[in-house]
Structure 1
């Protein structure tokens, strides 16, 4: 056992030797000396090239050397030469490393660094007037790289001027006629100094006296300024002029004199004088600044007023003659010296407020560069408007038809009694105090013209204060007659007629309601008014014609006739604008003929409904476009046919009923049925009638009743929200 142990121990050294031999480092089989490229002058960059090593190293490191000594921090592949390297031998050492190989260093052949060369070395220039007494300044230009310093030497005719070694040089009489140059020498550490010389310029003499010009003349727009050059020494061969505005040359202003223009107002005006003489430096001097004031108009004229000073007339302002001609005129008309609001045109129409006052017009003339001037005309007197106080009833034929504007003042309710006629026209205006009014048992004939309507209005209308007084309007009593044409009614409830003999209102402007229940003809045509209401009762006494055409209303039209023996009512060509309550057009007639109710338009507003009721006595095809149709109770007379095309929607008021004694023909189809429904049903026909919170179930209609041999035929009829649907009492 002991021998075995010895044998085991003897084997260990051999195994260890074999292991050591297997980990010994190898040498690179190819390890070339590095080289480097680049100009060997200060400022240039050198780049190391390692060559091809075998095997390829894992890494290379670099060290640049100066005369064999390592250069601090120069351990990159590249190296830029500095002044410290001039005359020194530069090398680079490359060290290669690779796992399992001996780290190996190689050094390049050395190259001696020389001074750098400026890559850009421009020729200098110099600025300044080349005349005795002027200072010249050298400009080096841009050098690359930037020199550490520049040196200067001024020369005359190529010879250095003693002591002239600054960047600037002031010319003396000794240089007159000589060519001046400047030599600039650039120096930089590590670089070869370089010298450059400018192009030469010949020195000329300077004027010994170069006076500042002076300017004479009024400094206001329109005036002429004149330049005085003063005495130059020696005398120039020529003097030229340039006038300037805020330092900028004024085009064409190149003579001794200059007329100030509107553009010069408030600006700085100068004149520059330039003197030239052979052998002398061209010299310019500039005057002191002058700031022109706006020019005055040399001729002004007070305006005058032409035209007849009477109420309703127009008068015109005449501006007269102004020099120079203004760019514009503005106007302000005044009443007793106080400005009239919005009266700023050349023409003014005399109104009621001007009666008994004096009028003037103030004209302001404006022109660029000139001070605005205001002139006022002589006053003209407007005659006072005559005022007639009406304190008692009109009991005999009376005419209020003055030729001059006249106001008739009614202080309390008065009447035109039966058998009497009141004629109002010409230049009359009728004004009413609070609670006053006019009752017509006889006749009122008020006919104006387009330019001069007959006006019935409040006592405050046309006054200086807000309209506060309203009056009671015009009432046409039983047997009375009213004829208004080209009239105006303002600040009153309107015109009402109760069993009047006749009412005729045409081409008038009524901010009021015309309401009539007459015994004679009613004609309401071509007016602008708030609302029309006409009621024709039954009976021969009320069998009068009704014509409502061509009106423009803001609150709708309501026509009702219970009179089967009366002429057919005509309601055509009316326009209801902006109406937003109830029904824009409402017609009830016991002999309803839709052909006499055509071309009525509902424009704007929320309620675009047109309502019909009564007894239909002519065939009618219901429209499927335009204003929504709404029906009060409607009876279709025997022998009369109502046709409802596909898509027809009729809305029916609360408790309304269709009674068919003639024929109702339904032409609906599967996609466009005919619908009869409640006024409050918004699911079809839109919602022009606003009824927030109201359900159609709450206000149903009574449905369609077929009676006395009537018939309902067709397909695709929808009846909604009716208590009776389609019924027959038989």
Structure 2
């Protein structure tokens, strides 16, 4: 009868031992085993947050903003946000130029600066309202920002800059005046009346006078740079572009009674010398960087000629073009001449600038530009600036690659351009808007 008692006690001890061991295992279990116990409250918290977001309502109207005003340096642009609903909605603004946020530009209006010329502007409007999800809308980009302008006389036709870069002179053919601009301030400091309708300008070699060619009275006027007054005038019987020779003694006038010559005026005696035969009507005259050569655009002859100022009656070097040239510009080293080409009566417009190698008389490249007009090369030779009369833009081209770097809007009917001696600015006359645009070059 004792055996059963013993077995019962052994079973009890085993049960007690199992309970003890189980308790020890639970006590020493990793924290991960306890995770299921605490995960339920965390799941509830996340769910509550999601419920809070989902209850935020959406605006019933979030219109895309628009920008009003002319994108031009110095002129204000205004954001029109449209009507956000339900009103009232708090609106904030953020302006960008070429996709980059402008620091501090958080008002509903923004005025581009000269450093933003050629770039596009957008505005982002953000709406906020308690109980509603915040929303943002971005406007379409503006056209490239145009350069600032200076008001001058009527129908400006020609622009020149003095060698020291201090003064710019504008021939206003419609008002019979010459505007004098300070390049430092961008202000017109004087307006000098001359007879007739001025179309050509040239600065004397000694930088003391500006010569003006007028058509209606066919004269040359000499303006005193120091006083901005007319020093004297004399009759030439023609008018056109002007180039002063390096010795300061002679003026070449791109026009003649026969239409096949360059008129030559002797400054000291205010008389005419032997004309230079070109064989065709002269459209444009441009001096080389050292003034020793004069590039002549012979429209009817489909050619660019070079007149040697040391031997003006010698045969000219001739470069053939595919269309009538309307303007030309040499590189500073004289190895290249760029020709803006006009309309051929049979083949139509070229809409191109030809890049001519002066050593081989071959066209190295053709640059597509709509109705190209006046053009100039930067003093360091790295950039070519061309007026597109078809698009009312100034086109800047890399002379290393002949690729267009930018097309920037200017005033309507751009007629001439000039680069400052340091290459930092380009002035462009607009004969329809009676202004000069000032393009900063970066």
Q: Which of the pair has the greater relative contact order for Cα pairs under 8 Å at 6+ separation?
A: 2
Higher helix share: 2
Could you state the TM-score of these two structures normalised by the residue count of structure 2?
0.30
Could you state the TM-score of these two structures normalised by the residue count of structure 1?
0.19
**Which structure has the bigger radius of gyration?**
1
